[in-house]
Structure formats: C-alpha cells, structure tokens
Amino acid sequence: MTVVADLILAVDGGGSKTDVVLLDSTGGLQAWERGRGSSPQLEGLAESVRIIDELVVAALGDRSPDRLVHVGLYLSGLDLPQEIEAFRQAISGLPWAQGPLVAENDLHALLRAGTDADDAVAVICGTGMNAMGVRADGAAVRFPALGPLSGDWGGGSELGDAVVWHAARAEDGRGPRTALLGLLLDAVESPSVSALIEDVHLGRRADDGFAPLAPLIFEAAHSGDAVAVDVVRRQAEEVVAYVRACVSRLGLEHAEVPVVFGGGVARGRDPLLLAGIREGLELDVPGARLSIVDAPPVLGAALLALAAAGCDPDSLARATSALSSDVRFAQRMPLSAH
C-alpha cells in the first residue's frame, strides 16, 4: 500500500517553550502541541530530543510519519555548525526524521514570522539574547550566543540575575536602594536576599535560574526606580548593538532594513525599553525599521517548512491565518521571558 506524502511538520523550540505544528500541503493546521523549552544548550541534547519527540508523536497522533513531506526544526541553542550536526545525528533514528529535514537556529523562524524581506535583521530576547542578519545575496551574520563567554547580555536569565544582584547589594549596603529588593522578596517568598542566596547555594532551593524574575525589572522601572531604569536602558543598548553589528557587517548602512524584535520581552512592549531602542537606532542605524513580532515564532517555522515543501502562496496564507496567535495556550502555559 502506497502512503501519500502530504504533511508538513514545523518545530520552534526556545528556552522556555516548544511549539510543534502539523500542517497539510494546503497550509491547513492539523495539530498544534506545546511543551516546555527544548534548547539543547539548556536542557542537554538527549533531553531536548526527548521533549521534541514526545510533542511530535502527540501531533502526529495515528498518522504515519511516512506522510511527512518536510520537517523543519528551529531551536534555540543550535548556534554552531557542530551543534546542528550533533542534533541531526541525535534525531536520525526517529521515525519522523527520515525524510527531507532542516535543523537550524530559531532566529530563522522569528525572522520569517516577522518579514520576508531579503535584507533584514532579527533580534530575539528570550531566556537568552541573540540576533542574525541576512542580505539578498545570501550573506548572513550570526553570533555564537554562548552567554557571557561570547559577550552576551540582556536575555531573561541576565535580567533575572540583575534583580538578585541589585537586591543583594541594596540589602547589605554595597549598592543603592532599589524597589527590586521588596519585589524580589515578595516574588520568592523569602525573608531576605541573604536567606535566598544561602538556600540556593546549599541546595535547599532548586537552582533553576532567575529568568522568571525578569518582569520585576520592568515593574520597578515603571515606578521610576533608578536602578531598574538603568538596567532597561542597558538592555535597549544591547538590542541596538546587535542591529548595528549586523547592518555594519553586511554593508547595509545606507539601506532601509526591517528589524524584527521577538521573544517574550519584546512582546511585552515595555515603553521604556522600546523608546530606548528606537532612540538608539535613530542615532546609530537610521535605516532600521523596528517591528515587534506578536505571532508565535512557530509561524515562521511553518512558513519556511511549507516553502521548502513547494507549497503555493495560498497555503502560506492559510497557515499564517491559523498560526498568527497562540492565545489558545494563554491559560495553559503563560509566557514570560520567551
């Protein structure tokens, strides 16, 4: 019996959530599964594959993997060629990974979700921060995105760490007073920052990182807290620095370039952050045209996968309509910093 290949699978895996969508060749949505983050850098390669496989199996249901025309996987943490190759090897034995397949960094999905321009820049602020730039002739700019080791700062992890850092210094007198101290203690239900630090250090409290605390920076900044305002300004400068580097390295200084800003922090549309970004871009990259991606990045993964499978523009339009909002998940898994 011949199995007709008529399905497309698209995956977007970030630091805090993973989306898997199954579409037919007309762009019709057949299934959409969401689970926790699947970044190989954060979860480890084996766990990343396990998380994705579980969601893919759920999305396929009783459908045969032989029906897959194309699989597109776009993951945070696939930054180096060696990481991409290791991931491809790790999934090579899975039933759904036997046909045409692309494995790439999730910035490709974000970029496609925000624009189809030939010259463009994408900046993502999720659990971590990263960016890429592309040019019409195929040239691309990428970054190692290995955290402080590669000069990165400004993702949810760093913002959460900044909450604890400034609160600790405010509490013991090394730093200025800040509203972050009270906000932190309320959020973690600890009597003091020193008690929190001791609990984490001694293993009495799980050390899962402080990324969920990132929204406290913006809450304090909105109240006029000078310490928090400085952190937000620094983050705006980091976004501008990524855009400036991409545009300069691609030689697009005199072109109009769409700048796609995505991730949980971007979708929060903090006015202080956006004002700082726009002010910096106007000074340093006057051709930049900033836009916020509200659609989930899996939309971009789906559009890339459909195009790779040779689907027509009507199919892409149908998928865009189906995947433009992830409101269905709002109650099940609230989004924070990605």
Under-50 pLDDT residues of the chain:
331-338
The two counts, helices (H) then strands (E), for the chain are: 13, 10
Same domain for 121 and 269, yes or no, is: yes
- Whole domain around residue 239: which residue ranges? 117-294
Same domain for 154 and 74, yes or no, is: no
Same domain for 173 and 270, yes or no, is: yes
Task: Determine if residue 173 is left, alpha or beta; phi over 0 gives left, psi from -120 to 50 gives alpha, anything else beta.
Answer: left
Check residue 338 and give its pLDDT.
29
Check residue 334 and give its pLDDT.
35
**Which residue has tokens 């999305």?**
59
Give SS3 for 186: helix
Same domain for 178 and 320, yes or no, is: no
Sign of the CA dihedral with 211 first, then 110, 95, and 322 last = positive
Contact 265, 211 (CB under 8 A): no
Q: At what angle do helices 271-284 and 215-222 cross, to 10 degrees?
A: 90
Q: Give the span between the Cα atoms of 17 and 76, in whole angstroms.
A: 10
Same domain for 65 and 126, yes or no, is: no
Beta-carbon contacts of 291 under 8 Å, excluding residues fewer than 6 positions away, are: 114, 115, 258, 259, 260, 261
Nearest by Cα to 10 from 264, 308, 236, 242: 308
**Which residue has tokens 């990132």?**
214
336 within some domain: no
59 within some domain: yes
Number of domains in the chain: 2
Q: Give the span between the Cα atoms of 131 and 134, in whole angstroms.
A: 10
Nearest by Cα to 175 from 240, 230, 222, 253: 230
Nearest by Cα to 168 from 159, 156, 180, 160: 180
Integer distance in angstroms from the first to the last C-alpha of the chain?
44
Amino acid in position 241: A
Check residue 270 and give its pLDDT.
93
Same domain for 55 and 165, yes or no, is: no
Sign of the CA dihedral with 110 first, then 114, 116, and 122 last = negative
Contact 21, 58 (CB under 8 A): no
Check residue 333 and give its pLDDT.
39
Q: Which residues pair with 8 in a beta bridge?
A: 23, 70
pLDDT in tens, 259-280: 999 988 888 899 999 999 999 9
Same domain for 284 and 250, yes or no, is: yes
Q: Give the span between the Cα atoms of 276 and 282, in whole angstroms.
A: 10
Task: Determine if residue 74 is left, alpha or beta; phi over 0 gives left, psi from -120 to 50 gives alpha, anything else beta.
Answer: beta
Q: Pairing between strand 288-292 and 129-134?
A: unpaired
Check residue 4 and give its pLDDT.
65
Check residue 206 and give its pLDDT.
84
pTM: 0.87
Same domain for 302 and 288, yes or no, is: no
Q: Which CATH number do you get for residue 60?
A: 3.30.420.40
Question: Which tokens go with 120?
Answer: 């463009």
Same domain for 159 and 172, yes or no, is: yes
Same domain for 148 and 242, yes or no, is: yes
335 within some domain: no
Question: Which tokens go with 172?
Answer: 């013991």
2 within some domain: no
Same domain for 86 and 178, yes or no, is: no
**Which residue has tokens 């956006």?**
274
Check residue 207 and give its pLDDT.
80
- Cα–Cα–Cα angle for 29, 30, 32, nearest 5°? 80
Same domain for 290 and 304, yes or no, is: no
